[in-house]
């Protein structure tokens, strides 16, 4: 939410998290998540009174995603491969369980589902948060709104290296053709401060300053409130191909590491306007947008995200659209008593900083209230991947129990 509300490091999914502010310094594991026994599940304090409306809405969006997929696609849980049809059936079974009395519901969740704990190298999970920014802006340039928010440039070229040789995997290059040569695309300085895209890219809207645009690009999507109070939603469309660099790194001498946050970083930039260009240009990566009518924002599986019920995880390792249960703490700035947050949710997004097992980014919604939670969130906790057992699906709907090995 880059992530991607981010399909690129969204939004993308591009996240207001400390990892993006000061960079990622720890390694991650790529091993399968750990199977969890019924006894361990029983020891968990599962969400006893879920917000059914929000959870049902989020699961419904994942079902819509699976309905679009080819029937031969598989989602891997340990050694078991699940078809889109089976993923739909698993979600529907979970939805039916939610209607049961609490004791029976918890019993069915333990017995009817496989549970896998997703662990990082510290044998736990690490959580951050992201949100959908709300900016003031206009569809026309003005003195009040002088900064363009660009759509994808007409000369941006994307190259999939796998098309040339499979040894390159899924590597992607972005650039442009100049004198019949493929060269790097314009960086942030050229685009923002040298007006290099004039005539090559169309502004979708105009916003008030470079700082707000920068953080919108990190989030990967947002809503622009137009002068007539109409909301104009934009989502990640593409990126200029330059690497993401965490601007917080060059401010560690100015902002202590333990105080580094979205709020602190924004305050510093507004308090030091003479350094804004220098600091923002440290990150040459530049995001281009598309207008999204209707509900949103969209995650990397192209469905609307639901606050607290949509999360971003590593889509290379964790099944897209899959069900999870997470428990973590709210930031101390929000809940000094370290209130424990326990939620069932679905994996509907990813992000450039969301890598490895035991790594999750929680979507908190739109605007300032969501920003206040997402900005400081850097919490440890636990996260579990859930899928209905094959025999349960077979008994309930007759779906094939064929097991797909990795």
Q: How many CB atoms lie within 10 A of CB 329?
A: 17
pLDDT band at 263 (very low <50, low <70, confident <90, very high): confident
pLDDT band at 114 (very low <50, low <70, confident <90, very high): very high
Taking the whole predicted model, whether its pTM rises above 0.85 is answered as no
pLDDT digits (tens, 9 = 90+) for 331-384: 887 776 667 889 999 999 987 778 899 999 999 999 889 988 998 899 999 999
Could you tell me if residue 386 is inside a domain? yes
User: What mean pLDDT is predicted for residues 299-308?
Assistant: 94
Boundaries of domain holding 383: 18-150+206-397
- The pLDDT score that the predictor gives to residue 25 is 40
Helix 102-112 and helix 84-98: axis angle, to 10°?
160
Residue 249 to residue 24: CA distance in whole angstroms: 11
Of 110-119, 255-264, 324-333, 344-353, the one with minimum mean pLDDT is 255-264
Could you tell me if residue 6 is inside a domain? no
Q: How many CB atoms lie within 10 A of CB 400?
A: 11
DSSP letters, 69-100, are S-TT--EEETTEEE-HHHHHHHHHHHHHHHTS
Could you tell me if residue 184 is inside a domain? no
Could you tell me if residue 50 is inside a domain? yes
Q: Are 29 and 357 in contact (CB under 8 A)?
A: yes
Could you tell me if residue 167 is inside a domain? no
- The pLDDT score that the predictor gives to residue 397 is 66
Nearest to 145 by CA among 211, 84, 97, 208: 208
Could you tell me if residue 157 is inside a domain? no
Could you tell me if residue 37 is inside a domain? yes
| pLDDT of 162 over the 60 cut | yes
- The pLDDT score that the predictor gives to residue 24 is 42
Give the β-pairing of 340-349 and 231-239: unpaired
Average pLDDT, the chain: 87
Could you tell me if residue 9 is inside a domain? no
Residue 145 to residue 8: CA distance in whole angstroms: 27
* Total domains in the fold of the chain: 1
The CATH number for 322's domain is 2.40.40.10
User: What mean pLDDT is predicted for residues 16-33?
Assistant: 45
- The pLDDT score that the predictor gives to residue 50 is 64
């Amino acid at each position: 939410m880059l992530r991607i509300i981010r399909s690129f490091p969204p939004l993308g999914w591009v996240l207001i998290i400390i990892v993006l502010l000061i960079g990622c310094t720890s390694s991650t594991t790529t091993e399968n998540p750990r199977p969890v026994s019924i006894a361990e599940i029983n020891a968990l304090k599962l969400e006893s009174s879920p917000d059914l409306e929000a959870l049902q809405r989020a699961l419904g969006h994942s079902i819509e995603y699976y309905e679009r997929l080819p029937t031969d696609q598989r989602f891997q849980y340990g050694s078991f491969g699940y078809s889109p049809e089976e993923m739909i059936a698993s979600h529907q079974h979970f939805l039916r369980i939610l209607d049961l009395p609490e004791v029976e519901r918890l019993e069915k969740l333990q017995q009817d589902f496989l549970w896998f704990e997703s662990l990082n190298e510290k044998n736990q999970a690490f959580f951050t948060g992201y949100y959908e920014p709300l900016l003031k802006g206009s569809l026309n340039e003005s003195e009040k709104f002088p900064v363009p928010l660009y759509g994808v440039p007409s000369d941006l070229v994307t190259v999939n290296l796998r098309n040339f040789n499979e040894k390159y995997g899924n590597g992607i290059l972005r650039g442009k053709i100049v004198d019949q040569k493929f060269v790097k695309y314009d960086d942030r300085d050229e685009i923002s401060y040298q007006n290099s895209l004039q005539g090559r890219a169309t502004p979708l809207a105009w916003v008030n300053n470079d700082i707000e645009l920068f953080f919108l690009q990190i989030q990967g999507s947002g809503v622009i409130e137009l002068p007539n109070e109409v909301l104009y939603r934009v989502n990640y469309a593409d990126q200029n191909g330059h690497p993401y660099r965490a601007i917080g790194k060059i401010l560690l001498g100015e902002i202590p590491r333990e105080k580094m946050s979205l709020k602190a970083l924004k305050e510093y930039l507004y308090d030091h306007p003479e350094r804004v260009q220098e600091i923002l240009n440290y990150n040459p990566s530049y995001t281009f947008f598309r207008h999204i009518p209707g509900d949103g924002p969209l995650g990397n599986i192209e469905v609307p995200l639901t606050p607290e019920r949509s999360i971003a995880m590593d889509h290379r390792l964790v099944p897209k659209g899959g069900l999870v249960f997470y428990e973590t703490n709210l930031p101390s700035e929000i809940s000094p008593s370290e209130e424990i947050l326990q939620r069932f949710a679905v994996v509907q997004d990813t992000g450039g900083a969301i890598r490895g097992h035991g790594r999750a980014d929680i979507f908190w919604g739109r605007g300032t209230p969501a920003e206040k939670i997402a900005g400081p969130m850097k919490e440890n906790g636990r996260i579990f991947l859930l899928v209905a057992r094959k025999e349960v699906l077979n008994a309930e709907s007759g779906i094939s129990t064929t097991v797909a090995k990795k």
